[in-house]
Amino acid sequence: MTFLLGSVFVVTILHTWRNLAGLVLQAGGADAVFLGEQARLRIRLESRGRLYQAVALGWPAGELQRVDVPAGGTCEVEVSLPSERRGWLKPGRLRIESRFPLGLLVAWSWVDLQLAALVYPRPVEGDLPHAVGMDDEDEGSRAQGQGVDDYQGLRNWQPGDSRRRLHWKAFSRGQGLLVKEFSALVGQEPLLDLDSLDGDLEARLSRLCHWVVELSARQQPFALRLSELTIGPDAGADHRSRCLRELALFGQQEQG
C-alpha cells in the first residue's frame, strides 16, 4: 500500500507540473473603468498541443479564475480587480497555478504580462462649473463666462461647490450653507475649468468627470481646462475619451 501511494504521489507531481508546462499567456488589454468599479483585465491563454485542465490564474488580492484550455486552441478570460485610486491600475505579476489532477498538490508560476487598466475619477454630481465673474449678490444675474444660464434656485452645499456661489445672506440668517443653482446655457460651449471649483483635488476632478460624461451624452461640445492644458471645445467619443484620460492622469506621471 505504501508503495502504491508513493507511486500515485510521484505520478501526481508529474501531471500537476505538466499541466502548466508549455502554456502560453498573452495580455489581452482592459477597458477603462471609473473609480470604485471592478477593472476587468483580459488574458489570452494558448495551447500549442495538449489539453490543459483546471488552470487557475489571478492575484492574491482577488479570487483566482479557473479555466480549461482546449488542445491546440485558445481561450480568453477576464480577471477582476477592484479599482481603489484613479490613474493606472497595475496589478503586477500574475499567479498561474494548477492542482490537476487530484487537487493534492499545486504547481504555480508568476508571470509579468505588464497588465494595466486606466481608472477614471469617480463621477460625482454637482452644478456645471461656472466661469469667474458671476455676481455673487444678484441671484437673477447671468454669468459673463461660459457654461451657465438662468438662476434656478438654492440647494444645499456639497463638497466641491465653489465658494463664489454660496448664498451668504441665507447663511447669515441661519439657514445653513446654500449655493445658487443655474441651468446650463443651451447652444453654447461650457468651459469645465478645474480652477473654477473649490475643494480638494479629487473632489474637483470627480465633478469635472461627471460633466464630461453628462455633456458627452447630450452630444454638446465643451472644453476642459486642467491647469495649463485646455482641450476643445469639441464633442464626440474621441473628445470624451481624451478628457477622461487627462482627468485620470492629472497630477500623475503618465505611464503605461
Q: pLDDT of 206-249, one tens digit each?
A: 999 999 988 888 888 999 999 889 998 899 999 999 999 999 99
Q: How many CB atoms lie within 10 A of CB 64?
A: 15
CA gap 57, 80 in Å, rounded: 11
- Sorted by where each begins, the domain ranges of the chain are 2-120, 151-249
158 to each of 126, 178, 207, how far by Cα in Å? 8, 9, 11
SS3 210: helix
DSSP letter at 64 equals P
- The CB-based long-range contact list for 236-244 (8 Å cut-off, 24+ gap) reads 240/212, 240/213, 240/216, 241/32, 243/192, 243/212, 244/32, 244/120, 244/209, 244/212, 244/213
Dihedral sign computed on CA atoms, order 200, 151, 217, 156: positive
CA gap 128, 197 in Å, rounded: 10
| Sheet of strand 65-69, all strands in order from the earlier edge strand to the far edge | 65-69, 52-58, 94-98, 107-111
Q: For 145-197, how does the pLDDT look when each residue is reduced to its tens digit (9 = 90+)?
A: 334 345 567 778 765 566 666 777 877 888 788 877 655 444 567 889 998 88
DSSP letter at 96 equals E
- Cell representation of residue 220: 454638446
Helices 201-217, 237-249: inter-axial angle, 10-degree rounding? 170
Q: For 121-134, how does the pLDDT look when each residue is reduced to its tens digit (9 = 90+)?
A: 999 887 776 543 33
Query: What is the pLDDT of the chain when averaged over all its residues?
Result: 74
SS3 251: coil
Q: Which fold has domain 2-120?
A: Immunoglobulin-like (2.60.40)
